[in-house]
Amino acid sequence: MLFAPEKAILVGVQLTETKHIPLEESMQELTRLAETAGAEVVGQLTQNRPKPDLKYFIGSGKLDEIKAAIAAYNANMVILDNNISAAQNRNLEEALEVKVVDRTEIILDIFAQHASSHEGKLQVELAQSSFLLTRLIGHGVAMSRLGGGIGTRGPGETKLEQDRRYIRKRISELKKEIEKLRKERSVRRDKRRKSNIPTIAIVGYTNSGKSTLLNALAKSDVLTQDQLFATLDPTVRRVTLPNHKIVLMSDTVGFIQKLPHQLIAAFRATLEEVSEADLLLHVVDASHPYREDQINAVLTVLEELKCGTKPMITVFNKSDKLTRKISGELLKKHEPSVVISALHKSGLDKLVTIFSQLLRQPA
């Protein structure tokens, strides 16, 4: 877990295969991630490469620049915007003599800090354990390449195997516990389905205003914070429409660019609230300069969850920060859609009218 005193240098590498994600956008997001995790960002460096360096991921020249930045800013950790291998992580830490974490680790750390429910903590531990196992396997691969001999025999290797066995056993236990909770959640959903109450899942990029929208519609007090991944546990609320009909709304974990696959797999039970919903409300921070990239990132995750064809309304939030022209362009480009301000509760009547029609419930 990260603590406030840690001073971090951020490092981003723009690879040919990731040019569809602007480096500036990704680095801004990494800054938010680092700060949310509790790090103090004291500097950042970027590099363009056709492909990663096998040993360090970054080039040797950039490695020297990072060393100089660490000394200049008295930094004690480096956070990479990319995901690196176990061997690359170890090589970087040996060369830089500070802790090195990648994008997946920083996101996992934030999830660990924000998990509050029993189910949420189990899912985070599963994701972290799955990630740790890849790091241990990576060390094992590196050792095997040495061909055995000095430095690869004895208690050290035995300890590594013990660690692997323990983690695999723990992963198996976690999966069983989560599966039990998943079945309980499924039973609750079946009961709701039998009651013929429509369900709506609120999805969207992290910090787009999903919880604020749920609070506005349900007149509830779900936690809202101006930070990434403030909501991890799905919250279900009853919402009464103007015609007194009832719908159930669930607020789900936010998505992000380069969302670690370990998290998608670990939180699949929670994300079933999305796949089982009758309708999705895709909340977008309409004021964000990279809103289209964020929209695409959410749609990509929904495809992974096999929810790409589910009925969905794009909800452009934070209308108070938009011009009328931009609002009109967004509505024309994305249909069906609506422009609202969840914070100021404007545009909500129109949103209710649209989703009532889609649910075949006249408002």
Q: What is the model's pLDDT at position 154?
A: 45
76-80, 218-222, 263-267, 314-318: segment of lowest average pLDDT: 218-222
Q: What is the model's pLDDT at position 230?
A: 55
Report d(CA 216, CA 226) in Å as an integer: 16
**Tens of pLDDT, residues 32-62:** 999 988 999 999 999 999 999 999 999 989 9
The H or E element that residue 204 is part of is strand 199-204
Collect all residues with Cβ–Cβ distance below 8 Å to 42 and sequence separation of at least 6.
7, 8, 9, 73, 74, 75
Averaged over 71-75, what is the pLDDT?
96
68 is in an annotated binding site: no
Confidence (pTM)? 0.81
Beta bridge partners of 346: 341
Report d(CA 199, CA 173) in Å as an integer: 31
Q: What is the model's pLDDT at position 363?
A: 47
208 is in an annotated binding site: yes
The pairing of strands 199-204 and 235-240 is unpaired
Q: Is the pLDDT of residue 114 over 70?
A: yes
190 is in an annotated binding site: no
Q: What is the model's pLDDT at position 225?
A: 54
Report d(CA 48, CA 26) in Å as an integer: 13
Beta bridge partners of 203: 282
216 is in an annotated binding site: no
Residue 262 backbone phi and psi in degrees, to 5? -60, -35
269 is in an annotated binding site: no
Q: Which two tokens stand for residue 134?
A: 């890849």
**Percent of the chain whose pLDDT exceeds 70:** 87
CA dist list (Å): 68 to 39, 52, 63? 19, 21, 9
User: pLDDT band at 84, cuts 50/70/90?
Assistant: very high
275 is in an annotated binding site: no
Number of alpha carbons in the 13 Å side-chain half-sphere of residue 155? 0
Q: Is the pLDDT of residue 116 over 90?
A: no
Report d(CA 340, CA 9) in Å as an integer: 38
Q: What is the model's pLDDT at position 137?
A: 56
Q: What is the model's pLDDT at position 5?
A: 65
Collect all residues with Cβ–Cβ distance below 8 Å to 279 and sequence separation of at least 6.
198, 199, 200, 201, 310, 311, 312, 313, 355, 358, 359
Query: Is the preceding peptide bond at 336 cis, omega within 30 degrees of 0?
Result: yes
Please report, as a single letter, which amino acid is at residue 107: I
327 is in an annotated binding site: no
204 is in an annotated binding site: yes
210 is in an annotated binding site: yes
Q: What is the model's pLDDT at position 14?
A: 92
Q: What is the model's pLDDT at position 275?
A: 87
285 is in an annotated binding site: no
Contact assessment for residue 340 and residue 319, using Cβ atoms and an 8 Å cutoff:
yes
CB atoms within 10 A of CB 16: 9
**Tens of pLDDT, residues 256-309:** 888 777 778 777 767 888 888 999 999 999 999 899 999 999 999 899 888 888
Q: Is the pLDDT of residue 193 over 60?
A: yes
Averaged over 158-175, what is the pLDDT?
87
Q: What is the model's pLDDT at position 158?
A: 62
229 is in an annotated binding site: yes
User: pLDDT band at 316, cuts 50/70/90?
Assistant: very high
196 is in an annotated binding site: no
61 is in an annotated binding site: no
319 is in an annotated binding site: yes
353 is in an annotated binding site: no
121 is in an annotated binding site: no
300 is in an annotated binding site: no
